[in-house]
Copies of this chain bind each other. A is one copy, B any other.
Amino acid sequence: MTSRSEPIADLSGRPLGQRALHKRRLILDATRDLLSQRGLRELRVADIARAVPTSPASFYQYFSDVEDAVLQLAQEANAPLPDLLALFEGDWRGAEGRRRARAVVEFFMHYWDRHGPTLRVRNLAADEGDQRFMELRGRAMLPILSAMEALMQRSGAVQKNSGLHPPAAALAMSAILDRLAAYHRVMESDAMSHDDLVDTTARILYHTLTGK
C-alpha cells in the first residue's frame, strides 16, 4: 500500500533506481529498529544514520525529517490490511463465524507484534492532531470499520442488539482489538493465558457483530 500508482521518489521528486531504493530501505529499517529499542523522544537523524551506518546527508536525500521517515513506515504498515478485510467479508454464521472472530483477534496480535512501535507512534501523532498521521490512520481504519458495519447489517446484529449504533459499535471493537493487541504480551501470565485473551476478545467481537 506504499502508494500503488506513483513510484518511490526522492525529495526532489525524481524516481529512484535499485541502488537508491536499497539504501532507502536500510534507512527505514534502522528507523524502525531504533523505534522499538528506544523511545520516540530518543529518535534522531544522527542516530539513524549511525545505525545504518551512513552519513546523515543520505537520510536527507529521501526524507525531510524523522517524522517523514516514520510516516513512511506507518504507510508500509497498512500493507497487510486487505488480509484482515477479507476475514470480515464472507460467511459469519455459526462455527465459521466464531473461527473468523478468533482469526481476526490473532491477526491483530501478530500485526501489533510486528508493527507495534510504528503504530504506537502513528496513533500518538494522530491523537496529537498531526494531519498526515490522522489521514494515514483513517485510511487504515475506515475500510475495517465499514466491513464491521456491513457485517452487523447482514448478520442481523442490528436487529438483535437493537440500540447498538453500528458505527459506534465498530469503533468500540476496533478499540478493543488495537489495545489488547498492543499489550497482550505484557498482560499474558499464569492468571490470564494467551488463549483466555484471544477467546474472550473473540467472543465479545462475535457477539457484537452477529448478535449471537
Taking Cβ atoms with an 8 Å cutoff, the residues of A that contact B are 39-41, 67, 116-117, 120-121, 124-125, 127-128, 130, 134, 161, 163-165, 167-169, 171-172, 175-176, 178-180, 182-183, 186-187, 191-192, 196-197, 199-201, 203-204, 208
State in angstroms the CA–CA spacing of A167 and B192 once bound together.
7
User: What B residues does A117 contact at CB under 8 A?
Assistant: 128
Distance between A195 CB and nearest chain B CB, rounded to angstroms:
9
Q: Is the CB of B175 within 8 A of A180?
A: yes
Q: Is the CB of B128 within 8 A of A168?
A: no
Q: Is the CB of B39 within 8 A of A128?
A: yes
State in angstroms the CA–CA spacing of A79 and B127 once bound together.
23
User: What B residues does A183 contact at CB under 8 A?
Assistant: 127
Copies of this chain, complex-wide, total 2
Q: Is the CB of B120 within 8 A of A199?
A: no
Distance between A94 CB and nearest chain B CB, rounded to angstroms:
16
User: What B residues does A39 contact at CB under 8 A?
Assistant: 124-125, 128, 130
Q: Is the CB of B120 within 8 A of A124?
A: yes
User: What B residues does A203 contact at CB under 8 A?
Assistant: 161, 163-164
The 10 A-B residue pairs whose C-beta atoms are closest, nearest first, are A175-B179, A168-B200, A165-B196, A39-B128, A165-B200, A172-B176, A175-B176, A167-B192, A168-B197, A168-B196
Distance between A21 CB and nearest chain B CB, rounded to angstroms:
28
Distance between A125 CB and nearest chain B CB, rounded to angstroms:
7
State in angstroms the CA–CA spacing of A163 and B204 once bound together.
10
State in angstroms the CA–CA spacing of A165 and B201 once bound together.
9
